[in-house]
């Protein structure tokens, strides 16, 4: 598949089991190039697990994951490392190194994966920090900046190597609504200006509707629905409706026994 083709990632019949627990149970999706895809679903439904497969941090029980047409399942650790270099990743929580300055944090992938001189690395770090609105923050320590700023530093680090695909796991988690919407704007901005394909895991409806070109709803290890924000908003599915309106009454049980919970997980 060439870079002009519409799908950058194609997932075919992806199944992941942890022991008896089937977390992903036959996922088939396509991630369009240059667009923002949001993966939605309730807590524990397997969003992070799914994302970790896309960046080759998990091996599936079965199925295929094609990135630019090449299957990344079953690659050696060395080959997977090469694949991972194509990607930027913003982990759930910012995962900054607390003993390093902001600038040193952003420089980590550049030092690890390139032979660039310290002077060039300093320039790239400055540019990346400028892109996320943090000009002049190189020498700050993570504890001296807010949670929203930490997310932006993590984002600058995620785009340090100019990836064509960036993955975000719950970018707005733990942030106030205004800061979370700022992060959304940044994701939109970077995706459109730098022509990056973005895959965002989120259970924040507002955020998903703000940024998504495509929304994938996961439920019980399967894809429940794929569509644009409008299509999901107007979904006839009762789970999707309960989910987007954040209601505690409906098809998702509030009270259940641990046996019923386990049974629900295992029956996926
Ligand atoms: N390494 C693992 N070993 C065993 N079970 C796991 C492992 N990783 C995830 N799970 C299980 O898989 C299920 C899905 O977990 P996952 O973290 O992917 O959910 P999630 O949708 O990202 O949840 P959240 O919204 O809370 O972040 C959970 O039941 C979890 O306990
Ligand atoms: Mg998660």
Question: What is d(CA 199, CA 188) in angstroms, rounded to the nearest whole number?
Answer: 11
Q: Please tell me the number of Cα atoms within 13 Å of 183 on its side-chain side.
A: 32
Closest-CA residue to 216 (of 47, 49, 92): 47
Probe residue for ligand 1, chosen from 15, 43, 48 as the CB with the greatest number of ligand atoms within 8 Å: 48
Residue nearest atom 23 in ligand 1 by C-alpha distance: 44
Mean pLDDT taken over the chain:
89
Report domain extents, the chain. Answer: 1-86+211-268
How large is the C-alpha radius of gyration of the chain?
19
pLDDT tens for 67-80 read 988 899 988 888 88
- In angstroms, the CA 233 to CA 197 distance is 23
Write the pLDDT tens digit of every residue in 131-157. Answer: 999 999 999 999 999 989 999 999 999
Pocket of ligand 1 (CB under 6 A): 18, 21, 23, 41, 43-49, 203
| Residues 6 or more apart whose Cβ sits within 8 Å of residue 22 | 15, 16, 221, 265, 266, 268
Overall average pLDDT of the 226-255 stretch: 81
Q: Report yes or no on whether pTM surpasses 0.75.
A: yes
Q: Diameter of the chain by CA atoms?
A: 60
Residue 261 — very low, low, confident or very high, per pLDDT cuts 50/70/90? low
pLDDT above 60 for 52: yes
* CATH 3.40.50.300 describes domain 1-86+211-268: yes
Mutate to test the pocket of ligand 1, among 15, 44, 90 (most ligand atoms within 8 A of CB): 44
262 vs 260: CA distance, rounded Å: 5
How many residues in the chain? Answer: 268
pLDDT tens digits for range 207-236: 999 999 999 999 989 999 999 999 999 999
């Amino acid at each position: 598949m060439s870079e002009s083709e519409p799908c950058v990632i194609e997932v075919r019949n992806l199944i992941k089991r942890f022991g008896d627990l089937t977390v992903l149970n036959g996922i088939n999706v396509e991630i369009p190039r240059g667009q923002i895809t949001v993966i939605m679903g309730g807590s524990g439904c397997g969003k992070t697990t799914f994302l970790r497969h896309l960046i080759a941090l998990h091996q599936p029980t079965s199925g295929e994951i094609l990135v630019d047409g090449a299957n990344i399942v079953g690659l050696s650790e060395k080959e997977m490392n090469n694949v991972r270099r194509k990607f930027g990743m913003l982990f759930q929580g910012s995962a900054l190194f607390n003993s390093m300055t902001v600038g040193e944090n952003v420089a980590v992938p550049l030092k690890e994966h390139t032979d660039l001189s310290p002077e060039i690395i300093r320039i790239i770090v400055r540019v990346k920090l400028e892109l996320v609105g943090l000009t002049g923050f190189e020498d700050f320590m993570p504890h001296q900046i807010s949670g929203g700023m930490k997310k932006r530093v993590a984002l600058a680090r995620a785009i340090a190597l100019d990836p064509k695909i960036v993955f975000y796991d719950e970018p707005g988690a733990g942030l106030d609504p205004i800061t979370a919407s700022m992060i959304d704007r940044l994701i939109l901005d970077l995706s459109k200006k730098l022509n990056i394909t973005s895959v965002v895991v989120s259970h924040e409806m507002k955020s998903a509707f703000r940024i998504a070109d495509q929304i994938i709803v996961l439920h019980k290890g399967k894809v429940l629905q794929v569509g644009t924000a409008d299509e999901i908003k107007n979904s006839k599915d009762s789970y999707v409706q309960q989910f987007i309106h954040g209601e505690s009454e409906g098809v998702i049980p509030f009270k259940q026994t641990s046996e019923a919970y386990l049974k629900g997980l295992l029956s996926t």
